[in-house]
Amino acid sequence: MFDVGFTELLLVGLVALLVLGPERLPSAARTAGLWIGRLKRSFNAIKTEVEREIGADEIRRQLHNEQILQLEREMKQSIQPPAATPTPTPTPTPTPDKLPDAPAQVSEQPAASEPPAAPSQDKNTQS
């Protein structure tokens, strides 16, 4: 991480010995070790918590994706009819020409032997 070699550590130790002195150096080293240990444990706890949360998020995403896929499968199955049951074919409806016992078609034009109808009297009475 910091790429600290043996010579750098030796130099830091000599400076600490000169600054603190031989009487206070052991207690200072012990205190520094305790603080470094606490920091490492704190960082490891935070790291594991973050990894746990990320793992939980991934699991939630996977479950959500599986639920979506399941819903899509159900929708496809409900839209598509099952292949085992044949679909009924519609029966053709008979036309009036093909109906049995159908009465003959009546023509709307008057027959040649009938006289034309007289105009109604209602038209004359309205004026």
Question: Considering its fold, how many domains does the chain have in total?
Answer: 1
Closest of 77, 54, 57 to residue 65, by C-alpha: 57
Range of the domain at 64: 46-81
Domain assignment of residue 50, yes or no? yes
Domain assignment of residue 51, yes or no? yes
Domain assignment of residue 59, yes or no? yes
pTM passes above 0.85:
no
Residue 16, C-beta contacts closer than 8 angstroms, at least 6 positions apart: 25, 28, 29
- Tens-place pLDDT, residues 67-111: 888 888 888 888 876 555 656 666 666 565 655 555 555 555 555
Domain assignment of residue 17, yes or no? no
Structure tokens at 63: 């479950």
- Tens-place pLDDT, residues 26-52: 999 999 999 999 999 999 999 999 988
